[in-house]
Structure 1
Amino acid sequence: MLGDVAVHVDGQRLDIGHARQRCVLVALLVDVNHPIAVDHLVDHVWSDHPPHHARNSLAGYVSRLRNLFSDTRGVALARESGGYVLQTDAMSVDLHRFRHVVRQARGCQDPLQAADLFERALGIWRGEPFPALDTPWINSLRSTLLGERLSVVLDRNDVALRVGRHSEVLVELTAAHAAHPLDERLAGQLMLAQYRSGRQADALDTYRQMRQRLADELGVDPGASLDQVHQQILSGDEQSPGRAPTPHLVVPDRPHSALLRRTTSFVGHTHEVARVIESMAEGPLVTLTGVGGVGKTRLALEVARREQDRFSDGVAICELAPLEHGAAVSHTIATALHLQQQQGLGIEESVIEYLRAREVLLVADNCEHVVEAVAQLLARIIQHCPKVAVLTTSRQPLAIDGERIVVVPPLTVDDATRLFADRARAGRPDFHLQDQPEGAVAEICRLVDCLPLAVELAAARMRMMSSTDVIRRLDTLGVLRGGARGSLPRQQSMSAAIDWSYQLLTQAEQALFLRLSVFAGSFDLDAAHGVCGSDGDVAEDTLDLLAGLVDKSMVVVRSVTGRTRYGILETLRAFGREHLREAGLTDTYAARHATYYTELAERAATGLHDSQEQDWVERMMPDYDNLRAAFERAMADTDTDLALRLVAALPELLGLRIGYEMAEWAERLITVTRPEHPLFATAVGVAARGAWAHGDYAHARSLAELAQRQVPGPGTARVAYPADVLADVTFFEGDSQWALDYWEGEVTRARADADPIRLVWTLYEVAICSGALGKPDYGLPAAQEAVTLADSTGNPTARSMAYFSLGYLLKRSEPVRATALFDQAAELAAAVQNFWHSGTALMSAAATRAVHGDPIEAARMFIEVLDHWDRVGDWFEQGAALRYITRLLLRLGADDDAAFLHCAFIKAGMPSPLRDEQLETLVDRLGANRFEAHRVSVSDSAAMVARARSSLHRFVTPPA
């Protein structure tokens, strides 16, 4: 691999096939002995534009490779864990042999032996990796490997200089410095080699040129390490350091962005703020570590608030504390980015592709309980997303390359005293520090080791007692000695501070607090009572207890807009869960939690089909973490019935709004559910719909066929019918007539079932299929009936679908009316956070305006459309938007941009968005030579979207 990819068996080079097959082999060799998911292999080979037959083609490549290795002892290519794995001795692959020798060299204590090992590692290379292959993944891998080689060269140089081999590396250093003229570490190595070879004047000249180059190109001075090398050369120091400086990042000014709002003042940790900002300038990942309650989260958010203007694409705050398992990390980060899984990609790949060209500060909070999953994803992000900076908080380092660790200490006594006074005054406005006995508040802070959370808990007690009483109570409870034997004193103090607040609760408040720890995120009063209320209590009793917990700072109010929600700080939640477990009550209340949220989801599923849809959406969306925890609990208890009920209730709530994570849950359930189970067909439908939404039509078809013609019962979610998925797959594969016949049959069944929501859905589909067949008049009665029926239900999603279907059929004959219908459909869907329907309606409204209305207004709307599908992660719809935009740009006279997009579609193997006469007009206006120049331009999906967005902005942004 470290050269042209080749396979040799017994000295004979094998024919490993064409470029795509070689690309598959490279992917298998990079992760030798580890399974690679089929989706990842498809992405590696075809990137953003896999053909519909990609999986079949991939299977063919693997089959030919398997046959190639069939007679080779010790090599096997097998199907495993939803993917493929190449099993062989890793040391038979030059890449892994290279990395193995490098690890030996870097761990070697003998510099002479290390130098020889580095030379041996570099000798494994035969040239640039796989120069004949060209895909985005291959190109990224090639850049990564060349970066690894350069890093090894630099380490080899350090050791060579240390053992006196300066003359051996001087020529190579000179060439490397010319190739990397801004690399300060390389410049320092060259200066040392020149100086030790008796060329002091050349060494000083190298420094002068480097200093000038840094000033001219980056506007910075040389770093401290390079300056140190320079000074030691000037002083004639023979013991010049063998390690030259590493480069530092220079970040240009960024446009202003909105500040992250503080809800309370930030006190102390001034030095740590500066250290974190400095560390962020030195590397892509900074982790804040420290004991629970020391203020890691608050410090991270303060740094993000101060540094956000450096990041043109903003700051994403990702709260990981609610997660029960590492499997949900990628979904949670995607949610923080307002991103849905992209078609043809896994959720992790979707996150990486989304961030690849963006300048974002990603803050991942509370990583310690899912540290392996976080480390795996963030390692890929910092490797493949060069403009992304990552700031994490964790009680332990992530232990990945590039990580810089900042240990967050407790506050100083002075800062802790200021914090205490600030928080005490918030609860008791007449509190003044000068009115307290001398040194009392400082003593309280010292007794809790100046940990911010403990200080705030203690300050909250000032509403009910004096500072002297607080000190007395701390001493009585043995705060400094109350932790587990052998734990750190700070941990003992934190535990004791929380325990002290817990002991001040009434017995009923204590019981409720421990039970509330089962929630995976925030919760409302109904949930608190339903999961944690005692027998015989009414909701008002729970509210009284909850108010006491809020007043005593054990529970916080998360939201008071619309429906009040409550939460528990993570350190307090951990304390509660530990005590609940000691009391033997964890299983009881976790099961109650799972049952409550399943029953709530079932009520919501009914409400989503009537006029109360918006109320149910606003109520349920904040409970995503609790719904996930409920499913995982049901699965852990092997309560398949409960898990099936939850999945059957969720697809419309989450699938059309957040994404189809529950499709993964459904696939897990299918493997453990009997086909005759009443909800089996629904689970199959949810899983199949998720595969369809991600563009994996073959997998969607194979899943849907598992239902064996079973039909879910009346009232089932609109998106959960397996046969519907088969019809949609057939429609998108081009057989609109078959789909129309199917949907007309479903209209008849929906009438017989007297299911109005199902009837609106099926009428909508009849209208869409009719329009696709070029028969709008045929579908018009269905669309008109759908509008009448949907209006009678008052259901916003049903109304949005019906208005859209009528607009779809009228867009050519009555474009003004159609535009109004699309606008209404988009507004209705957006009000209930139905992102798929709002996106398609918005796109259709823009497209109709582009042809029949104001093209500038259409351009403005299409920018919104591009942003929408970018967040949702739907490349199919994004591609449709780009086709409309190409025609609009031609109308606006943006001929070069229209030609670029046209050629990009052709190069991707897709039809041109332009009709023949439009294409002739474009070529005539540009001229043949200028038009042909666009055929060789870079045109992947990201480039297409960027070009379209840039062109549209020129028309909607007034000149300065």
Structure 2
Amino acid sequence: MTVQMRVLGEVEVRVNAQRVDVGHARQRCVLAVLLVEANTVVTVDQLLDRVWADRPPRRSREVVSNYVSRLRRLLEGNSAGTIERRGGGYVLHADPESVDLHLYRRLVAQAHNENDDSHALQLLEQAEALWRGEAFADLETPWIAEVRGHLTMERFAAVTDRADLALRLGRHAVILPDLAARTAAHPLDERVAGQYMLALHRAGRTADALAHYRRLREQLLEELGTDPSAALRNLHQQILSADSELAPVVVAPLTVPRQLPAVPVPFVGRQQHVGQLDALLHGPVMMVAIAGAGGIGKTWLALHWAHRHAGEFPDGQLFVDLRGFSPDGQPMNPAVAVRGFLDALGVEPGRIPTDLHAQAALFRSLVAGKQMLLILDNARDSAQVLPLLPGSESCTVVVTSRTQLPGLITGRGAHHVALDVLSSNETHALLTDRLGKARITAEPTAVGELIGFCGGFPLAVSIVAGHAATRPHLPLASIAAELRDLGLGALNGTEPTASLPTVLSWSRNALDPHQAQLFALLGIAPGADISLLAAASLIGLPPTETRTVLRGLEQASLITQDARGRYCMHDLIRAYAASIAHDQPDDTRLAALRRVLDFYTCTAQTADQILFPHQVPIHLDPAAPGTHLQPLSGTPAAMAWLDTELPNLLATQHIAIACNWHRTVWQLAWTLMTFHNRRGHLHDRLAVWQAALAAADHLPEKAARTDAHRNLGRAYVGLGRYEEATGHLNHALILAEQQQDAVLQAHTHHLLARTHELQGDDQTALDHATRALSFYRSLHEPVWEAGTLNAVGWYTARIGDYTTARAHCEAALAMQRHHHNTEGAAATLDSLGWIDHRTGDHHRAIDHYTQALILFRDLGNTFQAANTLDNLAHPHLALGNTEQARLTWQEAFELYRQQGRDQDAERVQRHLAELSRSPQTAPFRGVRRSAPHPDTSL
């Protein structure tokens, strides 16, 4: 366990590189005092004076004791920092190396005692790297202000010493930008001025150095009434006379760099991508940009390929990690990278110009015509890469980045390689390479679970393989069980680069505020993918602005867009996004969920009204501000939207359940009713109405519970679970009678009729249908009346009274056509076809069935279309049209199978088998079909 305690910036404690909450400002002040005085006793009076000055709190000693106790618990168990009560005060025992202030002072002191200038410079650079802003940046007391002032002077002195060392080592070009900034910040400091003048002179800008001296001399006279010091005047004279003592250090001639890091092993798969890179060596495009999410294996691929082809670049290979997505969030300045390349090429420091553009030009001149490979790893954006590109086509450049680098692709003709997850076979091969074939083959089930958990994410596979490799005695099934329990936490390693959440956090840190917010919210959005309008509703921005935000996330390789224009995340990235979504304020998170649930619920109701306009719509509250509804035009668009969004609509109901938004739970079940009926989603229909019934218990409207029992009964009917169906329908009927609700009584009788029919009791079915018809007529509801008139005709036909049945159905058909009830008309045409077939008029039966089939297909009602196809085959067979009967049954069989209607599929399969055995004499077996439901609102 590593512990770091910092004051050179914000006061903080980090354990294993993760920031720990130290508490509010006063408690951080107490910690700051103890850290500054680490390993020294600080009395309570000193703490009170340094933290509260002249305004100590009431019961001040008790307050100090409480603060120290909290800090002690925070550091408990960490040998790097413990707090002990001693001699009327407290002492924080800490390893000086764990406190940045004390480490800083040690490095500076060591540098001052070092005889080797190069090593001394390295020590001072390490010391400067410890600073992360102003000391105690988040605190303000008189004592802290005084200590901060002393530390600022210490830092200024150390930075100035560092500049002297760099100048002695001939690194004037590297530090010149920094010296220019320091000179502007400290215009009267003569030591800084001298360093700046010397750097300018050595960089070939002698005129600028002399001009700066003149300006300084005038400013000293004007503001202080004095001349420059003797040292500065002497330096001025040396520059004027071009004194040879001021000449820069000379370095070795140009060298051949071999900078590739070690070969990454093992490497599996990626053959397509390796082939794309291989093509670079023989094609006109000499640059490739490999893009993908953090941990997806971009550097792994680039280095594997580079080592395979290193011999084809005799003039050298350059490599730089541009730190575009690093823990500190500070990408490498291109000037640093260019200077590193120039150093690697052995350029004399004195030959290196100060300006970045000039440095880049020198670099291009040096590599012109050379066969070199440049690996520019972990780039933040195109702007960071452009100064590092060679101008010669003889060089090959491979750039890796979490962003898609459109500037390189469109502006420089780079070949784009999008890196996605490994396949299951590649993941299996990688695990086998890491853990051995014997261990993998011994537990195939556990290995399959490990592969599924990793989802092809190379970093996830490596972490899981590492867990297994370090515990060879542990069965893989036990490791799989750990992954089930821990989820994403299982991939949170102790080292940042071996932790998927940490690696992803670096990508997140690079996002702008809107991108970061939408990224988090996408983690908790319903379903596995999302449309533009749903995403716009989620974040509450206009669609055009949301598209820009989504594009930014796509370019950051955090989401992908498929061919349908829908956006999705890898499961592990989604899990990470969900974990940070819960860091957002509750009101922000819940408002986002409310908007996206309103998007799905309101659009689903619009679709339902399009599919069955005769249904009385339920009342929905206005959608929350910021919600953008999907426009739908016509039945095909409504069915297409529902087909696409069904998984998300089901997930929406689950979110509504979790949020206790009971009305939304019930409303979603209602709006999906027509669609579920037409598509035959029997199990989904059951699940949503089970949830709706539970939600109805929390709603004030009594009819909601009645409708829930009725529709749950209907769902059980569809699944052939008649006892449960009858129980719910009878319960619904009792409630409807208690409420004296004629509409619900009629609807329920209609469904009870169907339930009894399917159980073989046609007479009871007819009785219920007749009662339903009486209710509808008294209510003056012609559409519902027509549907039930068809049902009465159907049950009358089933008991053998075909003349009466046909009269009822023909009357129903006329009413349905008059009121433009297409679905009811289709159902009635199906009934008439059955009556025709039973009475021997097979040609008319085919005509009626065919009309019904056309209407069902136009409506997208594949469930009832399967029934009608099943029925249509019988009159074809009766007329000797054997091949047409076979084709019709085959189509019905496929639909039954797709809908999970196994019993119907098996029955049709038996018909087909009989037809194959004896096509001319296959006996007619009257199909016992489910009557097409005449009204999806029933």
TM-score class, shorter-chain normalisation, is: 0.3 to 0.5
Larger radius of gyration: 2
Instruction: Name the TM-score, length of structure 1 as normaliser.
Output: 0.42
TM-score by length of 2: 0.43
